Amino acid sequence: MQKTLSVKMPRAYDIIIENGLIKKVGELIKPTVKGKSCVVMTDTNVEPLYLDTVVESLKSAGFTVSSHVFLAGEEHKNLRTVEDMLSVMCSAGLTRSDFAVALGGGVCGDLTGFAASIYLRGIDYIGIPTTLLAQIDSSVGGKTGCDLVYGKNLVGAFHAPTAVLIDPDCLNTLSQKIYSDGLAEAIKYGVIKSEKLFERLLSEDAHSFINELILECVTIKRDITEKDFFEHGDRILLNFGHTIGHSIEKYYNFKDMTHGEAVGIGMVIMALAAERNGECEIGTAKRITACLHKYNLPATTGIDLKTLTEGSYNDKKRRGKNIKLVVPQKIGNCAVKVLPTDKLLQYLGGEE
């Protein structure tokens, strides 16, 4: 059964959720795009699984289609890959009325969206997320970008897609590790906005209600980002666990630890700090840890707090000498805390 969510942002678009839709993306997007030419961007993991299917569907709908395959992995989420994408768009002769297609996980969506935002000062792009993390989080909301050696997502733009097409059947090809990676973001949604969702994740197997899970997470993100597209207010709540999580990813040079694993650890560290400082219901960190462990996600890291704090100094949520933190008060409710950057280590329970 098809589910459609309408998103009202600076540019309105629809999110369509339907099992098997990857075979008919051409007919689904035809009413939403103006141009007749596109480039499908995907990575070396997704190419053998879905590229031919998507290209054939687009061609059958009357589009002129080119494709570009880049190396998979967060370590390739950089300006070099973006430049390659831009070159392919030029070679394909895309005009301002044409569009790009992001076929893949969060890295592909962020890179393709960013390339689309700066090519000819902005063209349309369609998101076809193939991982759980991308389906419930990164494909929605219009954040695009890439990493620098100094940190994660330090270059980017707010550029909403023209449509997002979510096929839950794509999750059947994921490894358990990558599947769990996405569930970390689902747990995040439960902590920041829905105790009911969190409890369901803890008491049931997420796979048994995956379509409902996708819909609920996307709805939560839709509702938040509609009100605060440029992240001046409540949208920052979506970054719960990410300040420390990004520092962990940077420590590992964006290898060996997935985004979801790092964010899960970041959530526990922030919950423990909030409990220690009397801002959070005691036991919250323990419950988050239990939920992470249920889905084979780590809750601790061997990296010391001083190193993690120093790694967060380039975080996008810094404002001058302050940093904005997302602090849980209890499961289902978080708040934004502004803290002097030089007090972060102390707040987390490190050295005075």
E-assigned strand segments in 81-142: 99-104, 124-129
Tens digit of each residue's pLDDT (9 = 90 or more) over 206-223: 999 999 999 999 999 999
pLDDT at site 296: 97
Tens digit of each residue's pLDDT (9 = 90 or more) over 34-47: 999 999 999 999 99
Tens digit of each residue's pLDDT (9 = 90 or more) over 11-31: 899 999 999 999 999 999 999
Annotated active-site positions, please? 121, 143, 185, 221, 231, 235, 239, 242, 246, 259
Pairwise CA distance, residues 41 & 43, whole Å: 7
pLDDT value at 352 more than 60: no
Identity of the residue numbered 101: V
pLDDT at site 151: 87
Which phi and psi angles does 38 have, rounded to 5°? -155, 160
Which residue is listed with tokens 């076929």?
103
Tens digit of each residue's pLDDT (9 = 90 or more) over 47-105: 999 999 999 999 999 999 999 999 999 999 999 999 999 999 999 999 999 999 999 99
Quickly list DSSP for 188-239.
Answer: HHHHHH-HHHHHHHHHS-GGGGHHHHHHHHHHHHHHHHHH-TTSSSGGGGGG
**Which residues on neighbouring strands pair with residue 126, listed in sequence order?**
101, 163
pLDDT band at 319 (very low <50, low <70, confident <90, very high): low
**Which residues on neighbouring strands pair with residue 146, listed in sequence order?**
155
Query: Structure pTM?
Result: 0.94
pLDDT at site 350: 81
pLDDT value at 246 more than 90: yes
Tens digit of each residue's pLDDT (9 = 90 or more) over 190-208: 999 999 999 999 999 999 9
In angstroms, the Cα distances linking 160 to 109, 134, 251, 296 are 11, 14, 30, 33
pLDDT at site 9: 80
Q: Report whether 324 contacts 317 (CB < 8 A).
A: yes
| CA torsion through residues 341, 343, 348, 352, sign | positive
Q: How many CB atoms lie within 10 A of CB 60?
A: 11
